[in-house]
Amino acid sequence: MGCDPVESILVLPKLKPHRPQPPQVLPVEIELCMPSKEDQMSCLGSGSIPTITCIEQERQALLQVKRSLTDTTRWLSSWTGEDCCNWKGIQCDGNTSHVVKLDLVSLDPDAVPIEANEVNPSLLELKYREHLDLSGNNFHNIPIPIFFGSMTSLRYLNLSNSNFGGRVPHHLGNVSNLMVLDLHCMYTESLTIDDFTWVSRLSSLQYLDASGMNLSQALNLNVILNMLPSLTELHLSRCELHSTLLVSHFYLNSTASNIRKLDLRQKSKSYELCIYENRFAMYNLERLILRANRFISGNLPDWLGQFKRLKYLELSSNWFSGSIPQSLGTLSALEELRIYENRLNGTISVSLGQLSSLKILDIHHNQLTGTIPISLGQLSNLMILDLSSNFANLTILEKLSIDSNLLTLKVISPPFQVKSLLMGSCKIGTGFPQWLRTQKKVSRLDISNASISGTLPQWLEEMPLVTLDLSHNHIGGPIQKLPLTLKSLDLSDNSISGPLPQNISEMVPSLETLILWKHTYMDQRLVILQVLRLHKNMFNDNIPSQLCQMLGLQIMDFGNNLLTGPIPRCLGNLSGMISDETVYAKGYGPQWLDTSIMQVIKGREQEFTSLTFVFLANMDLSGNNLVGSIPKEITNLSGLHGLNLSQNKLAGKIPEEIGGLNLSYNNLSGRIPKGDQLQTLPSSNYLGRNSELCGDPLSRKCPDEKSHPPTATGHREEHEEDDSEKVWFYVAIMSGYATGLWGFVGVLVLKKSWRQAYFQFVVMVKDKVLLAIVLGVARLKNYIDQFGG
C-alpha cells in the first residue's frame, strides 16, 4: 500500500542493543500508598517501616521458586533464614508484611544469568505482589505462563531478554492494574504477538516495550494508541512490522496525546511510515531522535511543527532533501536541533530565528545556499552553531565553524568575540570581510579557498592571530605587515608579488611554520622556524648559507625547484635535525596548529598532521640542479627520518655513516658504505645516472671485491635480520616503558613523601614519554610500509 501525495514518507531504522532499565514512570519505584484489606494505608518503597515479619506461606512459596531455578552465581544465596523480607530481591509491605516486590534481575552485565525450564506456579501464592522482574534470565524458550494473567495485583511486569518463546498469552490483558509491561527481546525473535486486542484492556498502562518481537502478523496496532489513555512510552523497534505501516491505521485521537516517546525503528528493511496531516496527536512528545536512518528521499515533514513540547530533535545523517520547513520555527520549547548530513537545499528558514530556547543548531554538511537570515540573531541562548548568519545576540559564542559550505556570508556588525573562526570554502565576497576587524580575541582564522582577491589589509596586523590560513585565494600585492603573535602562516596558491619583507623575522618573531607553495621568495633569517616548505616553486639560486641559522628547523622541503650549486656544509649544524632528543626537547608541539603537510619519506608521499609532524625531521632537496659531492657534515643530522637528494647532479662518493636516503639520478661513484641501513635500502634508491656506484645492495661489485652471485636466501636473511633487530628494538622500548612506569607508580603509592615530592615531576615527564611512544609507532609504520607490502 502506498501513501497519498499529501503524506510524508519515512523509513524506520535499526535499533542499537541496549540493557533494559527500569522506566522512570513507575510510582512503585518511589513510593506507593494504597488501602490494605484492613482499610489502613500501606506504603511501599524506601520509606517502609523496618519492623517487618515474613509471612510463612509466602516464604515457602519463595523457596519453591528457588528450587526451580539454576543459580550458578549464587545470586539467591541470601534466601535462607526465617525472615524472607530480608532476602535479596524481596521487598515486603511495611504494615502487612506481604511480599510486594520480587526482583530477580542481576545488575552485573557479566554475570551468568539464572536459568530455569519453568516458571514455578508457587508465584501465585504471592497474592499481593505488585512488582515482578524476571528480566535478563534464561528460560530456554518456554512460553510465558498463562497463569501470569491471574496476577491481577501486578503493576510492574518485566520479562525482557529472558528467552521466552512462542505467542504472548492474551490472558495478560486481565492484569488491568498493570502500569509497566516490558517484553522486549534484544537477542532473539522467538516471541510473537498476533493480536493486540488484549492490550486494550490494560487501561492503566503507561509503558509498553515489545521491541525485537515478531509483530508481522499483528495488524490491529491501532488499539495501542487509541485505547490506552495513560500510555506515555511505546517501543516497537525491530518488530518485523508490516511492510507499510500507516498511521492512518492507528486513527490517532486524543487518547494518544500523552505519548512522550515513540520508537518504531526497524532493522534491515525499508519500512514506510506515512503520516497524515492533523492526525499525529502526540503533542506531549519531548524527544525525537531519528539519526542515521535509511529514510527514503523526501522533504522534512511539516507535521514536526505539531510537537509543541519538543525539546530535542535530531534528524541527522539521513536522506532528507528539499528546504527546511517553516513549521520548525513554531517549536518554541526546542533546545537542540540537529539536521546535519542530509541533502537539504535552498535557503535557511527565517522561522528558525523564532526558536528562542535554542542552544544548539547544527546544519552542517547539507547543500544550503543563499544568505543566512538576520532572524538568527535573535537566538540569545545559542551556544553551539555550525553555520553562519547575522548574529544579533550571540554574545557568548566562542567558536564559529562554517567551513566547506556553499553559504553566502553577509555579516555587518556581529556582537560576538570568537576565538576560532573557520570559514574555509565559504562565499564571503571578493575582499576581506570588514567585520573581521571587530574580532579582538580571534587566534585562529581560516578563510582559505574563499575567492578573496585584492591585497592584505593593514588592519590584519592588529588581530591577535596565532594561525592564519589564506591559501587558495587570489590575494596579490606585496606582504607588508603581519600580526606579531603569528606562529603559522599559509599563503600558498595565491598571487603574492615581490619578496617577503627583509625584516619579516622582526615583524613576526614567533613564526614557526611558513608555507609558500607557488611563491617565489624565501626569507633567510627566521631563526626559530620549525617548518619551511617551499615545494614546487621557481627558486633558481644557490641554497643560501643563512639558512643554517634556522637552528630550530625540523622540516626543510625545497623539492622540485631550480636550485643550483653545492649543498652547504653548514646544514650539518641544524640542531633540530641532529638527534631525537633534540626533537623531543622542543616541547609539546604546535597545539595551536590544525593543519597537515605532505612529505616524501623513503620514496613515498605521506600526510603528517600537526600532532605528528612535530616529531618528524625531514630534508628534501630532490628535483633540483645541485652539483658537487654530498658534504660529510650531513652525517651529523642523525635525527633525520628522511633525506631525499634524488634527481640532482651530485657526484663523488657517498659519505660513511649516512642513513636512509634516496640518491637516485645523480652522478655518484665509488663503493656504497657498509651499514645496516644502506644495505637494506632498495636498489632503486641508487639507480639512475649513478653508473659508477658499486657494492650492496647493487648487483655491481667493486673491483677489489670477490664476485659472488647474489642469492635469494642471502637477501632474505638480511631482511629477516633487519626485521628482528627492529622488532626487538621496539619491544625493548615498550617493555622499558611499562616496567619503569609501574615501578615508579608503586614507589609513589607506598611512600607518601615521595608521592608529594615527585608529583610535579610526573606531570612534567608524562608527555615526553607519550611523545616517545608516538614516534616509535610512526617509525614502525614507516618500516611496515617499506617492507610489509
Give the residue-averaged pLDDT of 252-281: 53
Give all strands of the β-sheet with 207-209 in edge-to-edge order: 90-92, 99-103, 131-133, 156-158, 180-182, 207-209, 233-235, 261-263
- Residues 6 or more apart from 788 whose CB is under 8 A from it? none
* 8 Å CB contact between 347 and 322: no
More confident residue, 562 or 88: 88
Question: What is the greatest pairwise CA distance in the chain?
Answer: 115
Separation between Cα atoms, residue 642 and residue 129, nearest integer Å: 75
* 8 Å CB contact between 495 and 515: no
pLDDT tens for 327-357 read 999 999 999 998 888 888 888 889 999 999 9
DSSP states of 618-661: EEE--SSEEEEPPPGGGGG-TT-SEEE--SSEEEEPPPTT--S-
Angle at the Cα of 348 (from 343 to 354), degrees rounded to 5? 130
For residue 728, pLDDT beyond 80? no
* 8 Å CB contact between 622 and 646: yes
Give the residue-averaged pLDDT of 180-192: 83
Q: Which amino acid is at 376?
A: L
Separation between Cα atoms, residue 576 and residue 634, nearest integer Å: 13
Give the residue-averaged pLDDT of 241-260: 51
Question: Which residue(s) pair with 362 in the sheet?
Answer: 338, 386
**Model confidence, pTM:** 0.44
Q: Which helix (H) or strand (E) segment is 601 a member of?
A: strand 596-601
Secondary structure of 431-457 as H, E, C letters: CCCHHHHHCCCCCEEECCCCCCEECCC
| pLDDT for the residue numbered 97 | 93
Separation between Cα atoms, residue 51 and residue 37, nearest integer Å: 19
Stretch among 135-139, 380-384, 609-613 having the lowest mean pLDDT? 609-613
Give the residue-averaged pLDDT of 40-59: 60
In the chain, domain spans? 395-529, 575-586+593-694
Separation between Cα atoms, residue 786 and residue 714, nearest integer Å: 19
Helix axes 752-783, 712-750, angle to 10 degrees: 160
- Residues 6 or more apart from 764 whose CB is under 8 A from it? none
- Residues 6 or more apart from 222 whose CB is under 8 A from it? 249, 250, 251
Q: Which amino acid is at 506?
A: E
> Residue 437 to residues 399, 441, 460: CA-CA distances in angstroms?
17, 11, 8
Torsion region of 278: left, alpha or beta (phi above 0 gives left; psi -120 to 50 gives alpha): left
DSSP states of 237-293: TTS---SEEEHHHHT--GGGTT--EEE---SSS--EEEE-TT----TT--EEE-TT-
| pLDDT for the residue numbered 142 | 93
Nearest to 600 by CA among 580, 577, 618: 618
Question: Which residue(s) pair with 41 in the sheet?
Answer: 35
Give the residue-averaged pLDDT of 26-34: 36
| pLDDT for the residue numbered 399 | 75
pLDDT tens for 69-110 read 998 888 889 999 899 999 999 999 989 999 999 998 866 666
DSSP letter assigned to residue 788? I
Neighbours of 268 (CB within 10 A): 9
More confident residue, 3 or 133: 133
Q: Is the peptide bond before 697 cis (omega within 30 degrees of 0)?
A: yes
Separation between Cα atoms, residue 611 and residue 777, nearest integer Å: 13
Q: What is the mean pLDDT of the chain?
A: 72
Residue indicated by cell numbers 517501616: 49
**Would you state the torsion angle of the CA atoms of residues 369, 375, 378, 379, taken in this order, to the nearest 10 degrees?**
-30
Q: How far is CA 311 from the centre of its chain?
A: 24
Angle at the Cα of 683 (from 677 to 689), degrees rounded to 5? 120
Q: How far is CA 68 from the centre of its chain?
A: 47
Neighbours of 289 (CB within 10 A): 16
Pairing relationship of beta strands 555-557 and 531-533 according to DSSP bridges: parallel
What does the block give as the cell for 704?
A: 677489489
Question: Are the folds of 395-529 and 575-586+593-694 the same?
Answer: yes
| pLDDT for the residue numbered 128 | 94
Q: What is the CATH number of domain 575-586+593-694?
A: 3.80.10
Q: Which amino acid is at 26?
A: L
What does the block give as the cell for 292?
A: 542515521
Nearest to 356 by CA among 326, 388, 333: 333
Pairing relationship of beta strands 453-454 and 474-477 according to DSSP bridges: parallel
Nearest to 18 by CA among 207, 182, 143, 172: 182
| pLDDT for the residue numbered 480 | 74
Classify domain 395-529 by CATH architecture: Alpha-Beta Horseshoe (3.80)
Pairing relationship of beta strands 513-515 and 488-490 according to DSSP bridges: parallel
Q: What are phi and psi of 738, to 5 degrees?
A: -65, -45
Separation between Cα atoms, residue 744 and residue 741, nearest integer Å: 5
* 8 Å CB contact between 240 and 263: no
Give the residue-averaged pLDDT of 553-578: 85
* 8 Å CB contact between 555 and 618: yes
Question: Which residue(s) pair with 103 in the sheet?
Answer: 133
More confident residue, 142 or 563: 142
| pLDDT for the residue numbered 43 | 39
Nearest to 10 by CA among 278, 299, 251: 299
Neighbours of 404 (CB within 10 A): 13
Q: Which amino acid is at 148?
A: F
Q: What are phi and psi of 106, to 5 degrees?
A: -90, 135
| pLDDT for the residue numbered 559 | 83
What does the block give as the cell for 146?
A: 498463562
